[in-house]
Every structure is written in C-alpha cells, then in structure tokens.
Structure 1
Amino acid sequence: MAGRKGEVDYGFISFSPTSKKRKTNFVLNSLIAIVIILILVVSASIFGLTNRGDNNQAASESTNEEANTNDQVESEQDTSSDENTETEDTETEDSELEEQQEKEEVDLESGQEGMVVEESTENNVKTTAQNPNWQPVGTEQSNFSNSFDQGTVDWNEKLKAVSYATGLSIDDMIVWRMERGGDPATQAVATVTPKDQSENYRVYLQWVDGQGWKPTEVQTLVKNDKKSG
C-alpha cells in the first residue's frame, strides 16, 4: 500500500525522513550535552584540586611562618633570659666583692682598736704595740704548713695577719723579709713598710690550729734593717 508523500513503505513499517532526522539530532545533542557535562565535571575536579593545593600550600606557609615567629620569640626570650642571668651573676659578684672589701676594712679597723703602745729601749725599735683584742685571721688550710713561698695560701694568710695588725692594706705593703720565728713550725716574723716607706714595721705572728695566723706584737722600727744598702 502506498504511503503519504515523502514516506517510504516497507511492508508494515514506514519511515519518515523528518522523523529520522529528528532522532539523529536528538542523539547528537545528547552526546554534545554529555561531553559538556564531562568537561564541566573534569574542570571542576581540576579546579578543586588546584584550590586544595593552594590552600594546603598557604596553610603550610602560614604554619611555617608561625613556627618561625615562635622560634624567634623563644630565641629572644632565651637571649633575654641569658642577659638577665648574666646581669644577676654580675650583680651578685659585685655585691660579694663589696662585702669582702667592707669586711677587710672592718678587720683593719678592729685590729687597731684597743692597741697598747709603749716606748722601747731596744736598739732600732721606737715603740712596741700589743692588742688583747687581736684574733686569728682565719684560714683555708686543712693541712697547715709554715710556708715562706710567695703566692701560697699560707703566705697570703700571713700577709692578711700583718695587714690586720699594722693597718696597712696588702696593696700598699712592701714585704722586705718574711722569716721564721722562735718556733720555726708555728711562728713567723715579717718586716714591712708602706709603699712610700714612711714607716717601718716588724710584726710577730703565731699560728693557731684551725684558726689561722694571729699577730702578737708590732714593733715600729727606727730604720728598715732588712733593706740592703
């Protein structure tokens, strides 16, 4: 049976060229839509990954900056703490030095209090002086040895006792002779002058076990008989 114009009749089924074209366009449009959707999905995925990468990098950089800032703050705090500690140590040392100097000055003054001075008839001796208030000057020695070597602990303690008895500071003292006394093991005799040599002294010292050297007598000499020439 013949169909309408433009249709092809193949038995019971007929196909219209217009319908076929519409189907083809529908398929093409569908494919194009799928491709566009895929492109959008892929682009979104790439964009998301890029953003996450940028965010991660930014977060990492921020973390690094915070860490660097914290390290810098800690370093500054440590430096400040070290400076404060050094300042405190210096202040402590200065305070201890001042206390030591004050103690030495007090010792020198106390050595002159209660002094009993008498004229002497001995040759080359103007006066003799004794003081019932004199005390041993202390010691750091656990094993005492009557030493006459300059710079030893015992030598320095002898000088301290001489300074205590005469009122001369060790820095202003010239030691012309340091020799053994009547008991060589526990006694010593020092002949000293101030640096301007305005006076001449002979000091007799006695060792007291565990307590150090104690002056027993100070002679003021007419002249320094230990000075050569």
Structure 2
Amino acid sequence: MNNDLNQYSRSGNRAKRRKTNLVLNTLIIIVLALIIFVAYNIFVSGNDETASTKKETPKTEQNQVVNKEKKDNTTSSEEEAAQEVTTNENESSQDPAADEEKQAEEGSNAEEKADDSKKVVSDGGSSANVQRTIENPTWKPVGTSQTGEHTPVYDSSSVDWQEMLNAITYATGLDQNNMTVWFLGRDRSTTNASIGTVSSKDKQQKYKVYIKWVDGQGWMPTKVEELAEIPR
C-alpha cells in the first residue's frame, strides 16, 4: 500500500511539473512574441521616418531654389526700374541750359501763334502778279538770339538769315524743308526791313513776304502777298 501511495505522489509531482513547465513555456513564448513585435514596429517606423525625410528633403530644397530665383528676379526687376528712372533723370538734367532754352522756345512759339481770325485779306497788291494780300495785326516778332545794334545780314549761313526764314515760315505756314527761297534782301522802302520771295518746292504756293526788325525781339512779318507766278 505504501508503494501505491509513493507512486501516486510521484505521478502527482510529475503532473505539477509538467503543468508548471507548460505555463512557463507559454509565458516565455508570449514575452518573446512581444519583444519581436515591439522590435519590428520600431524597425519599420524608423525606416518610414528615414524614407519620408529622404523624400521630403529634395522637395524642400527645390522650393528653396524656386523661392530664391523668384526673389532674385524681383530684385533684378526693381534694380532695372530704378536704373531706368535714374537714367531718365540724368538725361533730363545733363544740360539744364538746353532744357531751359527748349522750354523758352516752346513758350515763345505759343505766344507767337497768330490769331487767323484777325487777318485781313484783300484782292490784288503791289503789282499785277499779286493775287491777294494778307495782313494780320496779331503777328509778333519771332524772337532772336542776336544782341546789340542790328544790321541785316543776307548770308544764307548767318543767324540773321535763319531768323528771317523763321519769320517767313511763321507768316505763311510754309515749312522750311519744303521751301525754295527765290529772293531775300533789303526792303528799300523802309529802314531795317526785308522782303523775301519764296515758294513750295512744287511751286504751288508762292509768296512775297514783308518783314521788319524789332529791336531785342527779332523779325516780325507785316504783310504777305500771294503770287500768281515766280518773278523772273
């Protein structure tokens, strides 16, 4: 009977050890599985972050390059605009005297403009070759760059000659680029006066123009005669 008890006791102990071993092995497997799971997640997560960083870095650098190019282009455009403004200012201020002279000339031309409504037109004139005579009390001297005592100079290269042509253009409206001067000389009927005979280059417009000198103000037209023919 004692043998049966001992055998039962040993069988019970072996069963307990097997049960204990089974529990321990199960726990060990569970722990190993957890360790593997955690390690896997850490490894995969780390690779994803690295890949994400590698993918985003070129895009970030590209954006930086594009932004830099935009900034450079904007700066370049602003510099060009500033340079253009500076250039225009420099051109305007290079020769103040010329600017003043131009402004004075423009103002003078505006003042010299005659009022055509005031002109007096009559048929005929000083000879049978005159078709009609035009006079205008609003005519004014055309201005002059000459100073001191004036003596008419009938030399085509002189300042006086050019100023006489200016007065003729002013009275007739005939452009000097389309003008042929047939005669320009002294008006012997009065002092400090001249007479010019001119026409358009096609000879469709023909004039005899009377001008007189006004001290300090230049030549002023006094009468225009429209001619039938150019005098020979």
Aligned to 1:137: 142
Provide closer, same or farther for how the CA distance between residues 172 and 105 of structure 1 changes in structure 2, counting only shifts above 3 A.
farther
Aligned to 2:119: 115
Secondary structure, counterpart of 1:214 in structure 2: strand
Provide closer, same or farther for how the CA distance between residues 84 and 213 of structure 1 changes in structure 2, counting only shifts above 3 A.
closer
Aligned to 1:164: 170
Aligned to 1:218: 224
Aligned to 1:199: 205
**2:142 is aligned with 1:126:** no
Provide closer, same or farther for how the CA distance between residues 105 and 175 of structure 1 changes in structure 2, counting only shifts above 3 A.
farther
Report Cα offsets for 1:114-165 as digits up to 9, x if no partner: 1111111631110011111111112221121201001211111101111111
Determine what percentage of the aligned residue pairs are the same residue.
35
Secondary structure, counterpart of 1:110 in structure 2: coil
Q: What pairs up with 1:64-79 in 2 under 5 angstroms?
A: none
Secondary structure, counterpart of 1:157 in structure 2: helix
Q: Is the 8 A contact 1:125 1:222 kept in 2?
A: yes
Q: Is the 8 A contact 2:114 2:140 kept in 1?
A: no
| Residue correspondences, number | 148
Report Cα offsets for 1:9-52 as digits up to 9, x if no partner: xxxxxxxxxxxxxxxxxxxxxxxxxxxxxxxxxxxxxxxxxxxx
Q: Is the 8 A contact 1:113 1:133 kept in 2?
A: no
2:152 aligned residue (142, 146, 149): 146
Counterparts of 1:138 and 1:84, CA distance in 2:
30
Q: Which residue type is aligned with residue 110 of structure 1?
A: A
Counterparts of 2:154 and 2:191, CA distance in 1:
11
Unaligned runs of 5+ in 1: 1-75
Tell me the TM-score normalized by structure 2.
0.53
Q: Which residue type is aligned with residue 188 of structure 1?
A: S
Q: CA deviation at 1:183?
A: 4.9
Provide closer, same or farther for how the CA distance between residues 189 and 203 of structure 1 changes in structure 2, counting only shifts above 3 A.
same
Counterparts of 1:131 and 1:215, CA distance in 2:
9
Q: Is the 8 A contact 2:168 2:196 kept in 1?
A: yes
Q: CA deviation at 1:86?
A: 3.9
Counterparts of 1:218 and 1:125, CA distance in 2:
10
Report Cα offsets for 1:72-122 as digits up to 9, x if no partner: xxxx9xxx5974554434898799769856864774x52644111111163
Stretches (4+) displaced over 3 A: 80-107
Q: Is the 8 A contact 2:92 2:99 kept in 1?
A: no
Provide closer, same or farther for how the CA distance between residues 185 and 176 of structure 1 changes in structure 2, counting only shifts above 3 A.
same
Unaligned runs of 5+ in 2: 1-78
Provide closer, same or farther for how the CA distance between residues 124 and 113 of structure 1 changes in structure 2, counting only shifts above 3 A.
same
Counterparts of 2:174 and 2:224, CA distance in 1:
12
- RMSD of aligned Cα (Å): 3.5
Provide closer, same or farther for how the CA distance between residues 97 and 209 of structure 1 changes in structure 2, counting only shifts above 3 A.
closer
Provide closer, same or farther for how the CA distance between residues 113 and 172 of structure 1 changes in structure 2, counting only shifts above 3 A.
farther
Answer 1 or 2: which has greater helix percent: 2
